[in-house]
Structure 1
Amino acid sequence: MNYFRRAALCVALACATTAGMAETWPSKPIRMIVGFPPGGGADIVARVVGAELGKSLGQSVVIDNRGGANGVIGTQELAKAAPDGYTLMLTISSHVTNALLYPKAPYDAMKDFAPVSLVASSPFVLVVNPQLPVNNVAELVALAKAQPGRINYGSPGNGSTQHLFHALMNLSAGIDMTHVPYRGGAPMANDLLAGLVQVGFTTPLFSQPLLQQGRLKALAVTSKRPIAQLPNVPPIGDTLRGYEAEVWYGVIAPAGAPRAVIDRLSAEIARIVHAPAVRDKLVAQAAEPIGSTPDQFAAVMESELKKWSAVIRQTGVRAE
């Protein structure tokens, strides 16, 4: 048998094996890794989607929280898993920025994984301590330009999502607010409320009661459009043209997972997130349902990689 006949036979056998797996898959429970502790946004989205995915596939979807290192530990676990469709991960947008901030991570964020589907996205809210004499983004930018380096913004740590969102704002507005990194969101929020830092990005669910109590003041949301929870708060992009920055949630698999399995998962997830009951649960968490094809998800990750690479290069953002 010559080389070409052997190659053709191997391809035929591989296709048959993949097709057979797709027909019998899933025949056992599926593990969905979450790279963050229980109770956070990623965990909640994973449990909402995983419960419905289990129903539609006829097998339970078990959530496996592997928190640590901004999602790197859980992602490393996925990279080591067999590409058989039985181990997935609910990841977030830091999957892409980690590739830029942790160049020595034990995996390649773009090559070692197969995109399955975008699930949802969620904005942050730009808030200030009420003692800061500004009422909108334009006034904050004007004050920051008048007092370069004297306005402090807090984040949960160097290289965190909020750090990147602020860096993008500094870059977009041509201002120089000073970064104060904390070890987590709780101490940052406490100092923001106390006025030790004046500016921060917080989640809509965290912000809403504090805004109602007058303990924080909302200037803008990071999404393209206003959100249901804060309908009167405008997007930053209304003032800083082109500004948009959201946390997205998506499902990925190990590279090499059968395409037929990935396509089925993608279709199921897209259907699930737009089902009224699931949509309501996601919207209650300030997450906008999306659903996408694997190729659409891959395009989003490539676009995000380019965007944040430029921000990190121009602003010098570094991880811990």
Structure 2
Amino acid sequence: MNAHRSPLFTRRTLLRATAAAGLLAAGSGQAQDAWPARPIRFVVGFPAGGTTDIMARVVGLPLQKALGQPIVVDNRPGASGNIAASETIRAAADGHTFMVAPISVQTANPSLFKPALNPARDLQPVGSLGYAQLYLVARKSLPANSSTQLVALAKAAPGKLSYGSGGPGTQMHLVGELFKQQAGIDVVHVPYKGAAPALQDVLAGQIDYFFDPAAGLQHIREGRARLLAVSGTRRSPFFPDVPTLTEAGVPGVELGNWFGLFAPARTPPAIVQRMAAEVAKTLQLPEVRQRFAELGVEAIAQDGASFARTIADETAVLTPLIRARGIAVD
């Protein structure tokens, strides 16, 4: 009898161990092939060399050692990350395709683009990678040493000051409009094709200020531009002496720039959980944290559920802002 029952017992034991290791398809009762079975693709909706791209590569290197498969970065720039989102949504939900993106793809793009994607339905957050505050940076010759003085200047001359952004619908633009709304000022928006040219015109004195996504940190440290305040709920660890906008008297400008990892919606939960756990470990590595800091990004690992709440909170701010300010992307 023991000899007859032994194979069944062995099979059940193996299945339990397989499920515990996260290798069962959710709800199917059938064992999947070991994951990952081939190279993993990180789809990035921005050009090579940008913050999102660099973060994907920095995280990917230790991840591929942990997972035993190469991580391949696939740059699909355009439409503020929507092209990459579409590519990820169309991919097989087998744990071999993920998207690395700022959360504006989830929070703002559905309200900005027509026809809109539905990332809340078609993508699932795996976890956050990091957070970058936006820096209110003014031209050096602007007669304002604080955001309070900047607001006073703007109120004294409505429509005369200008601010730049990396383009319509970017986080720089949205935070700039949120600042205008909360401060009650009239300032002209000047869109650029990216943060770099906006920064250059601030340095050259062609525009008055912009919300810098850490592109100009070195210029700030060298005194070529003036840092007046930071967005977010707390001070920047990179500039701890600089107040938040809330501290400076303009409450509600608490959006920064979260970056995260996303998977197609039907990716098995066990795979998502395993990837989230490996990402969390990777973000604790000193070399990863240091490289992120050089980009002005704090390495912060939120799990999928926590990251989903962050996305929902920011969507609740941005959706009415976009509608109230009439912001659109052609």
Alignment of 1:113-132 (within 5 A): 113-132=123-142
Partner of 1:5: none
Query: How many Å separate the matches in 2 of 1:271 and 1:231?
Result: 27
Task: Specify the code of the residue in structure 2 equivalent to 1:273.
Answer: L
Partner of 1:75: 85
Which residue of the other structure, out of 136, 160, 170, is the alignment partner of 1:160?
Answer: 170
Deviations 1:48-84 (A, max 9, x none): 1111111111111111111112111111111110000
Partner of 1:243: 253
Task: Specify the code of the residue in structure 2 equivalent to 1:101.
Answer: L
1:117–1:297 Cα contact (<8 Å) kept: yes
RMSD of aligned Cα (Å): 1.8
Partner of 1:210: 219
Query: How many Å separate the matches in 1 of 2:114 and 2:188?
Result: 25
Alignment of 1:256-267 (within 5 A): 256-267=266-277
1:19–1:260 Cα contact (<8 Å) kept: no
Give, in angstroms, the shift of residue 35 of structure 1: 0.7
Task: Specify the code of the residue in structure 1 equivalent to 2:123.
Answer: F
2:201 is the counterpart of 1:201 = no
Query: How many Å separate the matches in 2 of 1:285 and 1:196?
Result: 25
2:128–2:260 Cα contact (<8 Å) kept: yes
Partner of 1:103: 114
Give, in angstroms, the shift of residue 17 of structure 1: 4.3
1:18–1:260 Cα contact (<8 Å) kept: no
Deviations 1:26-64 (A, max 9, x none): 121111111111111001111111111111111111111
Give, in angstroms, the shift of residue 111 of structure 1: 0.5
Which structure has the bigger radius of gyration? 2
Misfit runs of 4+, over 4 Å: 13-19
Partner of 2:231: 222
Which residue of the other structure, out of 277, 289, 299, is the alignment partner of 2:287?
Answer: 277
Task: Specify the code of the residue in structure 2 equivalent to 1:227.
Answer: S
2:167–2:192 Cα contact (<8 Å) kept: yes
2:60 is the counterpart of 1:50 = yes
Deviations 1:233-273 (A, max 9, x none): 22222121232121111000111110111111111111211
1:18–1:170 CA distance, 2 compared to 1 (3 A): farther
Give the TM-score normalised by structure 1. 0.90
2:31 is the counterpart of 1:20 = yes
Partner of 1:7: none
Give the share of equivalent positions with the same residue, in percent. Answer: 39
Query: How many Å separate the matches in 2 of 1:313 and 1:286?
Result: 30
Which segments of 5 or more consecutive residues in structure 1 lack a partner in the other structure? 1-12
Q: Secondary structure at the match of 1:20?
A: coil
Task: Specify the code of the residue in structure 2 equivalent to 1:182.
Answer: Y
Q: Secondary structure at the match of 1:237?
A: coil
Query: How many Å separate the matches in 1 of 2:124 and 2:142?
Result: 45
Q: Secondary structure at the match of 1:53?
A: helix
Task: Specify the code of the residue in structure 2 equivalent to 1:44.
Answer: I
Q: Secondary structure at the match of 1:144?
A: helix
